[in-house]
Amino acid sequence: MHEANVVATELARKIKRWTSPWHVRLVLALGGLLLLSLLVAYRYSPKNASVECVFRIPASAVSPETKGDAHRVDTCVHLEESSSESERILGLSGRRSMTQNEGMLFDFGRPGEYCMWMKDMYLTLDMLWLDQNQEIVYMIENVTPDTYPKSFCGPKSAQYVVEVNSGIVKAADLHVGQGLRF
């Protein structure tokens, strides 16, 4: 019995020592740093938001999607949104393929001269610069990966850039002055 009392007393001393203000503050500080780092990581991680049916392309430009016995042709162009700095830097880099009716929308938040490049790209793209009213103000077609490190810049009135597969601008008959909806 005496031995059990000694063990219990020693355990009580250790618990008291680890719950001293110094240890509690250290644990709270480390927990706070961990929480802060998780919040920062979440804030700057891609969210994969998308904008549906920004414009349409002819059915002949899209491969039909097969579901069971049905064939469906989606002629809407869907854009993945890229609005944070880290998402804009990454863009479409490293992607080896993208369906004909997909692309990326870069939202810079305010008008300015925004430049795009083809770093780590595998796809040939059409690029469109749009103003704050979502009207096309400038376009470049068939930008190939081998153009890197050259930059392609739009006018100072652009707030958005849209990147789609090469040939989509022509297939959708897009032109400067045309408005897109998103």
Token pair listed for 35: 């929480």
**Average pLDDT, rounded, for the chain:** 82
pLDDT of residue 59: 76
Read off the DSSP letter of residue 75.
-
Name the band, by pLDDT with cuts 50, 70 and 90, for residue 118: very high
Whole-prediction pTM: 0.67
In this predicted structure, the answer to whether residue 8 has a pLDDT above a threshold of 90 is no
Give the whole-angstrom CA distance, residue 163 versus residue 138: 12
Percent of the chain with pLDDT over 90: 52
Q: Which residue in 48, 78, 73 sits closest to 62, CA to CA?
A: 73
pLDDT of residue 133: 96
Sheet containing 76-82: order of strands: 50-56, 76-82, 102-107, 160-165, 125-130, 136-143
pLDDT of residue 1: 63
What are the tens digits of pLDDT across the range 71-115? 456 678 999 999 889 899 999 999 999 998 899 999 999 999 999
* Paired strand residues for 136: 130
pLDDT of residue 117: 95
Quick one: average pLDDT of 40-53? Answer: 60
Q: Which residue in 138, 142, 178 sits closest to 160, CA to CA?
A: 138
What are the tens digits of pLDDT across the range 131-170? 999 999 999 999 999 999 999 999 999 999 999 999 999 9
Name the band, by pLDDT with cuts 50, 70 and 90, for residue 44: very low
Greatest pairwise CA separation for the chain in angstroms: 92
Give the whole-angstrom CA distance, residue 172 versus residue 116: 22
* Paired strand residues for 82: 106
Token pair listed for 86: 């880290």
Cα atoms in the 13 Å half-sphere on the side-chain side of 92: 28
In this predicted structure, the answer to whether residue 62 has a pLDDT above a threshold of 90 is no
**The CATH number of domain 50-171 is 3.40.190.10:** no
Quick one: average pLDDT of 15-33? Answer: 65
Q: Is 108 left (phi over 0), alpha (psi -120 to 50) or beta?
A: alpha
In this predicted structure, the answer to whether residue 42 has a pLDDT above a threshold of 50 is no
pLDDT of residue 47: 46
Q: How far is CA 162 from the centre of its chain?
A: 13
Question: Residue 58, SS3?
Answer: coil
